Structures are given as structure tokens and as C-alpha cells.
Amino acid sequence: MQNLLQNLNPEQYAAVTLPAESALILAGAGSGKTRVLTTRIAWLIQTGQISPSGLMAVTFTNKAAKEMQARLSAMLPINTRSMWIGTFHGLCNRLLRAHFRDASLPQTFQILDSQDQLSMVKRILKANQIDDDKYPPRNVVYFINNAKEQGLRAAKVNTYDPTSRQLAEIYGIYEEQCQRDGVVDFAELLLRTVELLASNQPLREHYQARFKHILVDEFQDTNDLQYRWIKLMAGTQSAVLAVGDDDQSIYAFRGANVGNMASFEREFRVQHRIKLEQNYRSHGHILDSANALISNNTERLGKNLRTDAGQGELIRIQEAPSDREESQWLVEQIKELTRQGIASSEIAILYRSNAQSRVIEHALFSASLPYKVYGGLRFFERAEIKHAIAYLQLMDNPHNDSAFLRVMNFPARGIGAKGQENLQDVARQHGLSLYAAVPHLGGKAGSTLGAFVKLIEAARFETQMLTLPELVKRVLEMSTLIQHYQNEKDGEDRVENLEQLVSSAAQFIAEEGFANDAPALMGPASIASTNIVQGDGVEILDADAALNTLMSPLSAFLSHASLEAGDNQAQVGQDALQLMTVHSAKGLEFDAVFITGLEEGLFPHENSAKETGGMEEERRLMYVAITRARQRLFISFAQTRMLHGQIRYNTKSRFLTELPEENVKWLSPKVQQNWFSSPKSAWDADDQYSQRSQFSGAGSSSYQNKVSYAAPHNIIPTNEDGWRIGLSVRHAKFGEGIIIKLEGSGSNCRAHIQFYKLGLKVLDLNIAKLEKV
């Protein structure tokens, strides 16, 4: 038996071996919070205080949950798969699967991801003739999710004016539609579970008695609904260990509430708050910088961190003329690091927004450096995969309208917008799903859709006894999706992705412990039979084991596609660079970390200026980014960047100036100051965004050749006549454009202008007739 406790410092030791009472560990990055949490689980089991099924551990990302299971298996010879270790969404999904009847859900309920949620809202607005300029679909989705996170059903939403009444009405229609389709969105997974536990006493007491220990990592980022769920699962008897760091609270924009930490201490009668002050992750320069940066925040609970590791290398800061050159620089640095023996998988490239990854990916790809992207447009979110998944969803539940709509005319079957509308009308009149409404539809659309329904029925019939990978393969063939993409120009990637879906189904079956020959459509026997009868006559089937005892292979795979997307891009075991947003890097660590795009407006993000506390949240995000690094940290920014089809002229991020001089080394020379005003002025708060010019309409191809024309960061050159970079101008022949470079002076003054329609032109300012607009 391993001695689990031997490598812990005294504070960690005390935390791991706490008596069975609720406790809060509040400690900075890299101080071993997650390690304490995992070791405590192992210790509780090893000392016989609890069986593996008597505890539940909640983490924030699938990656973190997997890592916790792996660390645990390394400490104890136990099967962690059937343990209750997972994300909030994953565990709620498991509960709802086991108790679908009590939760008033169909057994085959499916999970609506954010994209599908948005499409459903758009459809509802259209069907009800609601003006989507006045009620933009994204805002409606935000409203709905927000209400759910506050635990509010449509009927309970506060309506105080016509707008809120209208929103509540849309929300109500949306609720009905989801129920009819048998789909639940992400927020619904939690809300439904909370309502189920709150209203069903026997069930609640069952779980409260079962889970003697509940452990929650990254507690600072829980929202109110998640906290309510923890309270319902815990009751008064369970010991809850909450672990967190207020300086790493980065989800306030999604309703996370740091205040939950204080409520937790009060409501769980926490006797003492445990502090961990030794950092085991980062070298001195990295830690000192993180500490200095975060000290600029005022709203802090206050913590200290020290390290015994040496100072290590200075943090390298690079200024690049453009995002392309920033990526080029990344490639060179990475090659150097790997030459020094650092594994690619130990190198992370972090960015604030997903949109930044494209240019980085392009550079890595051209340099043949393998990489893996977490988040972003994930495997399961690609159009061709979504289409395939929709067909699979129809195998599981043909009444899922979202799935039906997605593929009723894909590949094209000649069903026009009119036919679609007619079908939706008929379905509404009869209160039927689209699938069930088809026989009521006449005309050409009726017969074309009739053939589609027949195709689905035939596929459902034919695939009954197939295993999951076989079923996926067969459905891809029957749907003619593969054929469709084979005939499409540049369709090879999509065909490859579809083929990858078959392998990922095979991998899923193996990983989740389903029998190799289990028919994909068949649910486990335990669900089909009656529930286990408990002593006092209450029937409770415990949501006990792994998903393979709760769902059919296909249902489980579809949940996985919605919930656990993103892990399928690199081959398993491949040594690949790790690309992700700072948000998704939470809790992780790497030997070397690159933080890119340190530009005002990007990081800190411009939206943060609009919200109270927004800037402090951005700074916490930067704190999270810095503290991911063990040995080497690189930070970069670009003077110009192409983002969302616009070129942005950037000033460097304020966060760079908050890092102590003695911890950093500037690789690129600081900005030359020729024809410009004092760079200091760029730091005036009011000025911050006005110095960045943007324009739309330039395609990325024209941009490729032009980014290097940009001006140095934080300064906008102006000539005597007031022409300046970033100025919008109009030319009689070329139309409107924007000045991106000025050269020469007096009678020999030329401007490089990016015209929206015609691309770049270089014009002599003394000859060309330009108007300022």
C-alpha cells in the first residue's frame, strides 16, 4: 500500500486528513489544491472510511475530470470509471438518465448544444412572427439561460414591461418545444436536476445518505444553480470539501458567484478555512510576476504564495509587427524549446479569444508541428459532423425536431423553404413532431418528405442489431452524406472527418466499457425492467454505475458528442502542442507557456470596459494564464491583427506594464519613436480604444500581403495635412477605404489605402482626390 501522505507539506497533510466535516481550502495557483482534493479521495478510500461509491467529486472541465481519475488510479488500484467524478453537466446528465421518469423526460432525451439552442430560438421567433431585430436571437438565448441559472421557469420570470413579457413568452414556447422534442439544453441539465431533487424527497434523501463526502474543485467559479445542486446532494450530513482561489474566478460573465465561498462557510458551518501558501508549480520569476499583477486588483480575499524553486528564466516578451509574424516567432521558439528537450505536449499556447487560433494554427500547420486545439470549433461542432449526428439522433429519437430540420433537406432533396414552412405549420396545428406530421402534408413536399421518413425508418430497422461503429458507418452510407461530400470540391477533409467519426465511436465503446458486440440501439436491461425496490416501498434505481449501465451505446455516444466534445482532434498519445483559450487552461500546468495577443481590447478584452468589475476579471484571467507555466513563460503581442474580418491596430496590453521589470526580458526592441507623439498618451484611459482603427470588408486573402505595412504599436502617425493611419477616406473611383500607411512628406507624400471593395492602392496625396469621411 502506497503511503499517500508522505509528499505533503504540513498544511496539505492537515487538509487531506481532515475529519469528516465540511471545509474550505482557499489558496493560490499551484499550491496543490487539486492534489489535496485527489489525495483526500484516495486516503478516505484507502483507510476504509468510505467506499468508492460513497463519494462524489465535481470538477469544471472534462479534461480536469479525466486527469483526476488518472491521478487516482495511479494512487489506488480501483476502477475509477464507475465513480462519481465528473463535471456538473456530466453528473447531472447521469442523474437524469437514471431518473428520467421522475424528471419527466423521455428515456432517450438528447442534449441540445449551444448552436442548436440558437437555431431553435431563431425558428421560434420566425414561427411566431417576432421581430428578430428587436429580439436578437442571441440575446433571447442569453435571457433564457440566465433565467434558468437563477432557477426561474418561464412562468416565474419577472415581467414588468412589454419587452420582458415578450421574452418570457418566447421562453415559455421554447420550454414547450424542448419538452416536445425530448431535448434539454446545458442549463436545463442542471435546473432539471435541482428541481428533481428539490421536489422528490425519497430520491434526495437517498443520495444524501449515499454521498458521505462531496468534493468540489474550482469552487470560486460555481454559479448559484450549481451551488444549490451541491446543497441538495449534500444535505446536512455530508462533508463537503470546497477548494478554490478567488483570484482565479473567471466566469462571473456566466453567472459564477465568488460570494458562494462566503455562503458556503456560513451554510456548511465551516470551522476553519485552510490556507496553502507554498507554490510547487512555477519558478520564481513567473510567480513574482503573477503576484505583482494580481496585486493591482482591489477586490481580493488576500493570499500569499512563495516558492522554493529558484528564480529560473526571465519571462520573455515579444512584440511583433503583425499576428502572422507573432505566429512565426512562436514557431521558431517552439522549435528551439523542443530542441532543448521539452515535449510538445508540455508546451501550451494560450489566447484570450478562440478567433485568434486560426492564424496560429496556420503557422503550426505550415511548419508541420502537430497540435491539438481544445475548445474552439470542436470536432463535434463541425458542420459535417453535426449533420451526421443529426441522422444518428433520428435513429435514437425521430421526434427530435432540431435534428429533423437539420437534415430533412441535407443532402438536398428538393424541399424548399415553402415546404419546410408548410410542414412546420401542419405540425403546429396537430401538435405533432415534424416527423409525425409528414403524413398530414400533401403535395410535392409531402411525397418528398414521405420518402425521407421512409429512409429514416428503413435505417432504424436495418441498424437494430448493429454495434455503434457499424451503425455510424451504415447511417453515413444510407444518408448519402459521404457521397455528398465526395462530390463536393474540397470535400476531402469533411469525408475524412466523417470517417473519423466511425473511429471515434469505436474508441468511445472501448473507453466507456460497453461490450464490443452490444447493439447500439439497445438500452441496458436494468433500465427496461422495473426499478430496484427500497425498504419502505420507494422505488429508486440508483444512478450508480458508469453510463454503460444507464444508456444505450448510441444515447451515451450522443451525450458524449454534446458534452464532451473537443477531445478528438489529435490521435491519442500523440505528442502535440496544446492550444486553448485561457479559460480552458484553468487548473492545468505545462513546462512552457505562450500567452499571445497581449493587446488592449483583446486582453483585456474590450467588453470588460463595459461591465463593472470587468477589468479585474480580465486581470484574474491573466493571472490564471501566467500561473499555468512551470519553467518557461513567453508573452507576445502584435501591432496589427486580423480579427473577425477586420484589421485592428493595437496598443500593447496594460498588463505588460504591471509585470515587474526585474522579472521580464523584452526580446524585441521597444518601439522607435520617430514621427509620433509621446507613447505615453496611448495609455490615457479615454484614449485607449480610439487609437485602434477597424474596417470591415477586407477579405483575409488581401490581408495576407499587407499586414506588414502597419505602424508600430500604440502610436498613430499623422502628417501635416492631418492624414493619419486609421483614417477613413473616400475616393471617387475606388470608393471608401482606410489609410494603413503613410510615407514621405510635403510634395512627395503617399498613402497606402486599403479600399473596402478593391483592396490596397498606393496613392499620391498631392494628386489623388481624397475626402476624409
Catalytic residue IDs? 33-34, 217-218, 248, 628
Q: Looking up cell 503557422, which residue turns up?
A: 363
Q: Which is nearer to ligand ATP, 352 or 648 (CB)?
A: 352
Kindly tell me which residue out of 35, 583, 605, 632 binds ligand ATP, with binding defined by CB under 6 A.
35
Q: What share of the chain is helix, strand, coil (3-state, %, to 5)?
A: 45, 15, 35
Stretch that binds ligand ATP, among 3-11, 85-93, 171-179, 646-654 (CB under 6 A): 3-11
Kindly tell me which residue out of 22, 32, 398, 560 binds ligand ATP, with binding defined by CB under 6 A.
32
The cell for 244 is 478554490
Q: How far is the CB of 597 from ligand ATP (least distance, A)?
A: 21
Q: Which is nearer to ligand ATP, 110 or 627 (CB)?
A: 627
Kindly tell me which residue out of 280, 379, 666, 756 binds ligand ATP, with binding defined by CB under 6 A.
280
Report what 281 binds from ligand ATP, Mg ion, none; CB cut-off 5-8 Å by kind.
ligand ATP
Cβ-based neighbours of 483, under 8 Å, separated by 6 or more: 411
3-state secondary structure of 302: coil
595 phi/psi in degrees, rounded to 5: -110, 120
Strands 770-772 and 728-731, bridge-based pairing:
antiparallel
Kindly tell me which residue out of 22, 34, 663, 754 binds ligand ATP, with binding defined by CB under 6 A.
34
Should residue 34 be labelled a site residue for Mg ion when binding is judged by CB under 5 A? yes
Beta bridge partners of residue 736, listed in sequence order:
730
Cβ-based neighbours of 617, under 8 Å, separated by 6 or more: 249, 250, 252, 253, 608, 611
Q: Residues at the annotated binding site for ATP?
A: 27-34
Q: Which is nearer to Mg ion, 62 or 651 (CB)?
A: 62
Cβ-based neighbours of 266, under 8 Å, separated by 6 or more: none
Q: How far is the CB of 420 from ligand ATP (least distance, A)?
A: 48
Report what 9 binds from Mg ion, ligand ATP, none; CB cut-off 5-8 Å by kind.
ligand ATP
Report what 562 binds from ligand ATP, Mg ion, none; CB cut-off 5-8 Å by kind.
none
Q: How far is the CB of 47 from ligand ATP (least distance, A)?
A: 19
Should residue 467 be labelled a site residue for ligand ATP when binding is judged by CB under 6 A? no
Should residue 587 be labelled a site residue for ligand ATP when binding is judged by CB under 6 A? yes
Q: Residues at the annotated binding site?
A: 27-34
The cell for 120 is 431553435
Q: Which helix (H) or strand (E) segment is 753 a member of? A: strand 748-755
Q: Determine the Cα–Cα distance for residues 41 and 76; give it in Å rounded to an integer.
A: 10
- Going from the C-alpha of 475 to that of each of 459, 464, 500, the distances in angstroms are 7, 12, 14
Helices and strands, number each (H, E), in the chain: 27, 23
Should residue 17 be labelled a site residue for ligand ATP when binding is judged by CB under 6 A? no
Report what 566 binds from Mg ion, ligand ATP, none; CB cut-off 5-8 Å by kind.
none
Stretch that binds ligand ATP, among 7-15, 153-161, 293-301, 574-582 (CB under 6 A): 7-15
In sequence order, what E strands does 192-270 have?
213-216, 239-244
Report what 29 binds from ligand ATP, Mg ion, none; CB cut-off 5-8 Å by kind.
ligand ATP
Stretch that binds ligand ATP, among 8-16, 182-190, 230-238, 575-583 (CB under 6 A): 8-16
Q: Determine the Cα–Cα distance for residues 367 and 683; give it in Å rounded to an integer.
A: 36
322 phi/psi in degrees, rounded to 5: -145, 170
Q: Which is nearer to ligand ATP, 275 or 474 (CB)?
A: 275
Q: Determine the Cα–Cα distance for residues 384 and 199; give it in Å rounded to an integer.
A: 41
- Going from the C-alpha of 80 to that of each of 359, 487, 545, the distances in angstroms are 39, 45, 10
Q: How far is the CB of 68 from ligand ATP (least distance, A)?
A: 10
Q: How far is the CB of 18 from ligand ATP (least distance, A)?
A: 16
User: How many residues form the binding site for Mg ion (CB under 5 A)?
Assistant: 3
Site for ligand ATP, residues 85 to 144, rule: CB under 6 A: none
Kindly tell me which residue out of 94, 210, 213, 281 binds ligand ATP, with binding defined by CB under 6 A.
281
Q: Determine the Cα–Cα distance for residues 430 and 180; give it in Å rounded to an integer.
A: 13
559 with 186: CB under 8 angstroms?
Answer: no
Tell me which residue of 252, 330, 287 sits closest to 659, measured CA to CA.
Answer: 287
Whether the CA torsion 746, 322, 691, 732 is positive or negative: it is positive
Stretch that binds ligand ATP, among 28-36, 102-110, 471-479, 737-745 (CB under 6 A): 28-36
Kindly tell me which residue out of 587, 597, 717, 726 binds Mg ion, with binding defined by CB under 5 A.
587
Should residue 30 be labelled a site residue for Mg ion when binding is judged by CB under 5 A? no
Q: Which is nearer to ligand ATP, 437 or 588 (CB)?
A: 588
User: How many residues form the binding site for ligand ATP (CB under 6 A)?
Assistant: 19
Q: Determine the Cα–Cα distance for residues 472 and 554; give it in Å rounded to an integer.
A: 9
Q: Determine the Cα–Cα distance for residues 27 and 34; give it in Å rounded to an integer.
A: 11
Q: How far is the CB of 31 from ligand ATP (least distance, A)?
A: 4
Site for ligand ATP, residues 385 to 444, rule: CB under 6 A: none
Rg (CA), the chain: 28
Mark residues 641-670: x for contact with ligand ATP by CB under 6 A, - for none.
------------------------------
398 with 449: CB under 8 angstroms?
Answer: no
Should residue 12 be labelled a site residue for ligand ATP when binding is judged by CB under 6 A? yes
Give the interface with Mg ion as residue ranges (CB under 5 A). Answer: 33-34, 587
Give the interface with ligand ATP as residue ranges (CB under 6 A). Answer: 7-9, 12, 27, 29-35, 245, 248, 280-281, 587, 589, 627
